[in-house]
Amino acid sequence: MEKVFWKVDGMTCANCALTVSKFLEQKGLSDVKVNLMSGEVSFDVVEGAEDTGKIKKGIDSLGYKVVGEVGKIDTTEKKALNKYLKFLLITAGPTLLLMLHMIPVVKHWVHFMMNPWIQFALCLPVYGIGMYLFAKSAWVSVRNKMPNMNVLVTIGATSSFAYSVVGMFLGWPSDQLFFETTATIVSLILLGNFLEDSTLQTTQRALTKLSKSQKVLATMIAYDDQHQELHFQVENNTLRSGDLILIKSGEQVPADCRILSGSATVNEAIVTGESLPISKTKKDTLIGGSIVADGLVKAQVTSPANESVLANIINLVKQAQGEKPPVQQLADKISAIFVPVVLVITALTFILNYLILHNFTEALMRSVAVLVIACPCAMGLATPAAIAVGLGRAARSGILFRNAKSLELFKNIRQVVFDKTGTLTTGTFEIKQLTVVDSSYTEDEIKKLAYSLEKFSNHPIALSVSKAFTRTDVFRWKSVEEIKGKGVKATDIEGNEFWAGSYRIAPGASAENAHNVYIVKNNTLLAWIDVKDLIRPEAAKVVSYLHAKGIKTILLSGDTKSNCTPVASELGIDQVIAEQTPEQKLAMIEKLNQEQPTAMVGDGINDAPALAKATIGISMSEASQVAIQTADVVLMNKGLGNLPLALGLGKHSFITIQQNLFWAFSYNIIAIPVAAFGLLGTYGPTYGALIMGLSDVVLAVNSVRLFVKKVV
């Protein structure tokens, strides 16, 4: 199955995104995601589907344009002048001239502007530009049975223009012609589209900042025939795993790499949200996109730029923006039928006003005002705009949402379940005590045995044991297996079975169950190891924040109750559920979910099933890959300390969505009747176009507030 990522130009409203999405689904493609905010489209090409070349032509035939594959378009190049601004500058002059006779102060100076032929000459190019921009899109949208806002603009501008042209040839007086109305409709819609474009670009600024950090020059190291070191500049997108690079003070790290020599202090704020510089030395990893504040290092590339941590973050955010949370479904349904409904209301407005007023001109102007004041875009943009800002701020702060649904679901969370090791505690253990039970083994032999077993596990306790007992002389095993929730089991060439793991591997061998690691041979207990783990300094603050918000806290761990209770007591956690296998954790999360929406925070392999089952699964960046892949949210360097911000962003993003939807619905419910009843006065279509143009800007500005709004 091939995954395709395209950048598509020309999508200006929710109906545009719905049209592209519907088209791709009709072509038999799966996992279709259309991101209106960034213009990016992704889908899976399944067996038997049409060739991508034909699909690309199909999108072009809809009135949009596939400009290339995401990642292969140079996003750092200076953009051309916004097309709406360009055409606005062209139409502004004729439009202002047409409106001069409406200004009492200068009216007597511009009698010549009352000439219908001069008005026609000034209006024609403006109308032509409007039809060039809006009519084609309107026709394509009607043809695809998904009429968009341009249908309303095209009909409104054409009605006033055609009426005025007929009146001009019939010799009607100039005050019964509406060339200035046509011009102002087109110009004000262009102004509104430009302002909307500009403000919506602002909603993407956090992601744009990350994207621009992807393309930089790198100093590559090579050697000549005499083994002399050579340096030359290359673009980082040409780097491959294994390449050697030199990074100097003040430079941006061009790709994920590992330091071979030298040391540096590095600012990783753009990726992790952590503003304090971090000291890095030999064998440490550098994240592509971070900045070397001070120092000089030689490093080896570990991942190409398009597979780096930064690239994966950007892709995660873009995919999440393409997701549709539940709250958007109603707005999408209404957007799909909005334009036909407005057309019906417009026809009724004309008919009823004509029957009541017996004035064709007044009835026409009121119906045109209805057309241009109606705004289907607001409903379609209400959710994506807020989601884009929320996800962008989260990414900038070191919080990654895998889907937009999670951002919305945070508002419902009433209890948070924590794993202990590596989540509430640092996950960095020190050996507290080694106790040998079987006198036939020396302490050194137990250390050798413990290292030979634990080196095969990524569990935090196992890592600490193998680090403490590192050695070169090890036992050779016939087979080795890690069993989740228990430990590491190995068999030697003589058939003896050895274990290093939790108390579950030695039932009945000891009355003790308060130790961390048990070493067992053929069901005989040889020794146990006690370790100590420090509680994360931010954990108490996070738990206190959750309690202040009325959220219940639960400690759910595979560790013993005697190890869990002190941690829970120190942090003030409400409930302790200890000694749980991965299967039991899964069942417990399922039970808790039935009681009320539950978030699970974990970092180990044994947490993965529970993370997947929770209403929202949360892992940290240093967690196991399985935990990260199954989680809905990933907390970067600040780890647990970012949980309140994630909760706050989720809550306030939903509040912003509600505000946007309230504005979108209220605006249309109020504005359309105001226009239909002629309350906008003589220049109803002009005022309607101005109000409609600004309506989306209000919505976008409200969304942008999320960047600076206090959410914690």
CATH of the domain at 563: 3.40.50.1000
Residues 540 and 629 placed together within one structural domain of the fold: yes
**Domain around 163:** 83-205+330-387+655-707
DSSP summary character for residue 228: -
Pairing of strands 291-301, 633-635: unpaired
Q: Within this chain, do residues 287 and 221 fall inside the same structural domain, yes or no?
A: yes
Residue 210 lies in a domain: no
Residue 272 and residue 367 share a domain: no
In three-state secondary structure terms, 6 is strand
- Flag whether 629 is in a domain: yes
Catalytic residue annotation:
419
Which CATH number do you get for residue 449?
3.40.1110.10
Beta-bridge mates of residue 348: none
Q: At what angle do helices 179-203 and 116-143 cross, to 10 degrees?
A: 50
CATH of the domain at 27: 3.30.70.100
Token reading at 510: 């000891």
Identify whether 312 is part of a domain. no
Residues of the chain with pLDDT under 50: 75-78
Cβ proximity of 695 and 674 under 8 Å: no
Instruction: Tell me whether residue 555 is in a domain.
Output: yes
d(CA 462, CA 150): 63
Question: Of the candidates 507, 534, 561, which is a domain's last residue?
Answer: 534
Residue carrying the six token digits 């190019």: 125
Q: Based on the fold, state whether residues 288 and 268 are members of the same structural domain.
A: yes
Distances (CA, A) of 606 to 127, 485, 598, 611: 65, 6, 18, 10
- Check whether residue 378 and residue 489 sit in a common domain: no
| 354 assigned to some structural domain | yes
Do both 32 and 87 map to the same domain? no
- 183 shares its domain with 38: no
Final residue belonging to a domain, choices 482, 506, 534 = 534
pLDDT at 580: 86
CA distance 620 to 108: 72
Q: What pLDDT score was predicted for residue 407?
A: 79
List of residues 6+ apart from 177 with CB closer than 8 A:
116, 119, 163, 164, 167, 168
pLDDT one-digit tens code per residue, 268-296 = 766 655 556 788 898 888 988 888 888 89
Q: pLDDT per residue over 214-250, tens digit each?
A: 678 899 999 888 878 888 998 888 889 999 999 998 8
Residue 165 lies in a domain: yes
Please state the three-class secondary structure of 418-470 as a single string.
Answer: ECHHHHHEEEEEEEEEEEECCCCCCHHHHHHHHHHHHCCCCCHHHHHHHHHCC
Distance CA(362)–CA(150), nearest Å, equals: 23
Q: 410 with 553, same domain?
A: yes
Q: According to the model, what pLDDT value does residue 78 have? A: 47
Q: Integer distance in angstroms from the first to the last C-alpha of the chain?
A: 42
Structure confidence at residue 77 (pLDDT): 47
In this structure, are 397 and 417 located in the same domain? yes
If DSSP codes are grouped into helix, strand and coil, which group holds residue 371? helix
- 408 and 542 share one domain: yes
Picking from 534, 553, 583, the residue at the C-terminal end of a domain is 534
Give the predicted TM-score (pTM) of the model: 0.68
* 366 Cβ neighbours under 8 A, 6+ residues apart: 349, 350, 353, 675, 676, 677, 678, 684
Whether residues 127 and 232 fall in one domain:
no
Closest CA to 416 of 223, 108, 633: 633
Answer yes or no: is 313 within a domain: no
What is d(CA 261, CA 107) in angstroms, rounded to the nearest whole number? 78
Contacts by 137-145 with C-beta closer than 8 Å and gap 24+? 137/10, 137/12, 137/63, 140/61, 140/62, 140/63, 141/15, 141/16, 141/19, 141/63, 144/19, 144/22, 144/23, 144/62
Tell me if 168 is assigned to some domain. yes
Q: Say which CATH number the domain at 234 has.
A: 2.70.150.10
684 and 646 share one domain? no
Ramachandran category for residue 386: left, alpha or beta (phi over 0 → left; psi -120 to 50 → alpha):
alpha
Q: Select from 22, 28, 596 the least CA-distant residue to 41.
A: 22
What is the number of domains present in the chain?
Answer: 5
